[in-house]
Amino acid sequence: MRHVAALAGVGIKTVSRVMNDEPGVSEATRQRVLGASQQLNYQLDMAAGSLRRTGRQTLSVGLLLPSVANPFSSEIHRAMEDSLAARGIAVFAASLDDDPEREKSLVAAFLGRRVDGLVLTPIARSQAYAIPEHSRDLPMVFIDREPVGVEADAVVTDNAVGAARAAAHLIGHGHTKLAYLGDRPDIQTARERRRGFIEELGRAGQSTAAVPVREGLHDEESARQAALEILTSENPPTAIFSSQNLITFGVMRALKELGASRRVALVGFDDFSLADMMEPGITVIAQHPERIGKLAAERLLARIDGDGGAPQTYVVPSELIQRGSGELRPPAG
């Protein structure tokens, strides 16, 4: 704060008023202080009092997820809480909504509260904006998607491998008319799952040019509409691969509306509660978010405790779980 005050040519109390958005400061002075704070990459320390602890730790970490409402995200959150509770470390979670600007603002908010580390599912094109803090020994671990522009540990699923396994499974049950329903193509995991699925079709000698591909499906309703469209087309698929659980929910609704749940095969990426209670049960490529959360917590603790080894990417294998929907065979003839 002293550096900001010196650069802006004001007193420390003026800097404090501006950073806390208090009255009594002219607009010209306010802008000068804000400009100086940006130039110096200054973040308001909202946990300064807590830094009097031994080791200057706040005993808190930030967890940034696509959406805490998504079952996959909530399982990661719970696994991290369970792993870090023994150290008395609290996990504060926030939803990114897969918005790059929201990612940056939430990272800044957590940094302002001096968390001891960050676990982040990135969506911005680059995470280079976090280098200043990371280089000052702020531990960071990325999950689900690998970072761009910054070197840090990452814990991910074998997305392309899992999607290829889904395609091979459907092909193995006699399907030659497959469709792909995917998330936004700007999301790393969505691109990998599409790549794995399409490449497996090619390896099996199937034409990929005619495969119905619907992307940009980020919620249940958009997936439902896309599934209804392809299932009522002139040449509907006999099998569908849905690339994440919210899309799977939308496909399930469409199949039920059309009375096609026992006629069209379905494999979804991501497991979910009660998948085995459907009729038929939903075959999935399970990601094991509990393992991802536990491993991310272990890596973060290791970095907090001083592990200075080279960053690594840890891959948690996915698993095909057969429950019935993915084992349906295409109609004869």
- What are the pLDDT digits (tens) for 83-125? 999 889 999 999 999 899 999 999 988 988 889 999 999 998 8
DSSP type of residue 310: P
Distances (CA, A) of 277 to 186, 280, 290: 33, 8, 21
- What's the rounded mean pLDDT across residues 36-49? 68
Please check the confidence at residue 46 and state whether its pLDDT lies above 60: no
For residue 280, say if its preceding peptide bond is cis, omega within 30 degrees of 0: yes
- What's the rounded mean pLDDT across residues 267-272? 95
Residue 21 — very low, low, confident or very high, per pLDDT cuts 50/70/90?
Answer: confident
Residue 130 — very low, low, confident or very high, per pLDDT cuts 50/70/90?
Answer: confident
In this predicted structure, what is the pLDDT of residue 132? 74
- What's the rounded mean pLDDT across residues 241-267? 97
Please check the confidence at residue 54 and state whether its pLDDT lies above 60: no
Please check the confidence at residue 50 and state whether its pLDDT lies above 50: no
In this predicted structure, what is the pLDDT of residue 39? 83
Please check the confidence at residue 135 and state whether its pLDDT lies above 80: no
In this predicted structure, what is the pLDDT of residue 136? 65
What are the counts of helices (DSSP H) followed by strands (DSSP E) for the chain? 11, 12
Strand partners, 95: 65
- What's the rounded mean pLDDT across residues 265-280? 94
Mean pLDDT lowest among 5-14, 76-85, 134-143, 249-258? 134-143
Please check the confidence at residue 55 and state whether its pLDDT lies above 80: no
H helices of the chain, in order, are 2-8, 12-19, 27-39, 71-84, 100-112, 131-135, 159-172, 188-203, 220-231, 245-257, 289-304
In contact, 104 and 168? CB cutoff 8 Å: no
- What's the rounded mean pLDDT across residues 242-262? 96
In this predicted structure, what is the pLDDT of residue 51? 43
Q: Distance between CA 270 and CA 166 in Å, rounded? A: 12
Cβ neighbours for 306, distance < 8 A, ≥ 6 positions apart:
none
In this predicted structure, what is the pLDDT of residue 134? 65
Residue 43 — very low, low, confident or very high, per pLDDT cuts 50/70/90?
Answer: low
Distances (CA, A) of 66 to 96, 152, 156, 327: 5, 19, 14, 31
Neighbours of 21 (CB within 10 A): 9
Q: Distance between CA 227 and CA 243 in Å, rounded? A: 13
- What's the rounded mean pLDDT across residues 64-92? 92
